[in-house]
Amino acid sequence: MAQEFKNPDEEVVLGDEIDHVRLITLNRPRQLNVISSKVVTLLAEYLEKWEKDDNAKMVIIKGGGRAFSAGGDLKMFYDGRKSKDSCLEVVYRMYWLCYHIHTYMKPQVALVHGISMGGGASLMVPTKFSVVTEKTMLPELEKRLISLNSGDKNAMRSAIEEFSINVQIEEESVLSKQSIINECFSKDSVEEIIKSIEAEASKEGNAWIGAVLKGLKRSSPTGLKITLRSIREGRKQTLAECLKKEFRLTINTLRMTISGDVYEGIRALTIDKDNAPKWDPSSLDKVDSDKVDLVFQPFEQGMEELQIPGKEECRWDGKYENSVWKMVDEPN
């Protein structure tokens, strides 16, 4: 095993090389392996390096502790709220990383243990194989995959199946409520969705939906409107189109183009921890649809959009200059 760092306990990401297998370990278990600027940079560097390495045949991504990754580093964004460009680079890198993982030219396996959400989930979902568990790291599976010492997808699939079990979904599980969920969220507006959920919550045996309703009602009205529109548009968009759009939404949100709710939410949840955000505007009926349109609009002149190549053969040179990463076409 070739350890990349001299002081692994101090590093947020560890990179190991074992014959033809490469391992990435998110190494901030006490912080639930949150996605920070350094994490994104190191992940991108490792993946780019190993994709070009002929000796690297398989990449395994895992999280230390009981979390694969619990989203982004919210405090980082909050601390940088007064500078409109302070978090631009990490956001750009994160969306590029999502695309890079999705179009990666070598098989990857994500070993997910415990919590995985937000930015963390975006690292896991695009991999060729994702192994998810709540109770164990399946260390024997990791050893089995490493022993393959190759990038044979069929062999990797067979190895994973050796350790797999059929999960029996319990009747009270939310996974058994798909028809109700589909019906409620098929409505045209956030207001109609909430009304539909309220109707379902009043029925006997639907106490489970109360938590969903509570979550929606305590969320930012502006954020809900933006999210619903983005999801609906995304149904007809390619991955590249979705990432370009989401980058635009994220930057416009961080720049408080129409609302400062993102920072108010971070304050209430992680800074003051009073869990009492004061949204502006405070209710759905006060959200101006014309203003919502603004966060979906192209950037003003001088501010570059997310640049994603139109084909998988395109790769990036790892440099970030003037808010744009220069794209390079590598030989087919």
pLDDT at 247: 93
Tell me the CATH number at 21: 3.90.226.10
Domain assignment present for residue 60? The answer is: yes
Instruction: Residue 144: name the closest of 129, 128, 127, 160 by CA.
Output: 160
pLDDT at 75: 77
Provide the domain count of the chain. 2
The residue count of the chain comes to: 332
Domain assignment present for residue 290? The answer is: yes
Model confidence pLDDT, tens digit, residues 36-67: 778 888 888 999 999 999 999 999 998 765 55
Domain assignment present for residue 323? The answer is: no
Domain that holds residue 14: 2-162
Q: E strands within the chain? A: 2-3, 13-18, 21-26, 58-63, 67-70, 108-113, 115-117, 129-133, 314-316, 327-329
Residues 116, 86 share a domain:
yes
pLDDT at 214: 94
Percentage of the chain surpassing pLDDT 70?
A: 80
Under-70 pLDDT residues of the chain? 1-10, 28-33, 64-73, 83-86, 114-115, 117, 134-137, 302, 309-332
Residues 199, 131 share a domain:
no
**Residue matched to tokens 């379902």:** 200
pLDDT at 114: 67
Residues 39, 15 share a domain:
yes
Residues 205, 149 share a domain:
no
Following DSSP, what letter does each residue of 128-195 receive, concatenated?
A: SEEEEESS---HHHHHHHHHH-S--HHHHHHHHHHT-------TTSGGG-HHHHHHHTTSSSHHHHHH
Residues 150, 27 share a domain:
yes
pLDDT at 311: 52
Residues 63, 33 share a domain:
yes
Q: Are strands 327-329 and 314-316 parallel, antiparallel or unpaired?
A: antiparallel
Q: Are strands 21-26 and 13-18 parallel, antiparallel or unpaired?
A: antiparallel
Please name every residue paired with 17 in a beta bridge, in sequence order, or none if there are none.
2, 22
Domain assignment present for residue 320? The answer is: no
Helix or strand or coil: residue 329?
strand
Residues 126, 258 share a domain:
no
pLDDT at 4: 44
Domain assignment present for residue 15? The answer is: yes
pLDDT at 245: 95
Domain assignment present for residue 141? The answer is: yes
pLDDT at 45: 92
- What amino acid occupies position 100? H
pLDDT at 316: 44
Residues 99, 21 share a domain:
yes
Domain assignment present for residue 142? The answer is: yes
Model confidence pLDDT, tens digit, residues 156-202: 999 999 888 777 888 888 888 999 999 999 999 999 999 999 999 99
Distance CA 283, CA 37 (A): 34
pLDDT at 36: 74
Backbone angles phi, psi at 21, to 5 degrees: -110, 140
Residues 143, 227 share a domain:
no
Residues 225, 158 share a domain:
no
Domain assignment present for residue 308? The answer is: no
Residues 144, 44 share a domain:
yes
Q: Would you tell me the crossing angle of helices 221-234 and 190-201 to the nearest 10 degrees?
A: 100
The per-residue b/e assignment along 65-89, b for 16 or more CB within 10 angstroms, e otherwise, is bebbbbbbbbebbbebbeeeeebbe
**Domain final residue, candidates 117, 132, 162:** 162
Residues 243, 153 share a domain:
no
Contact criterion met (CB below 8 Å) for 47 and 41? no
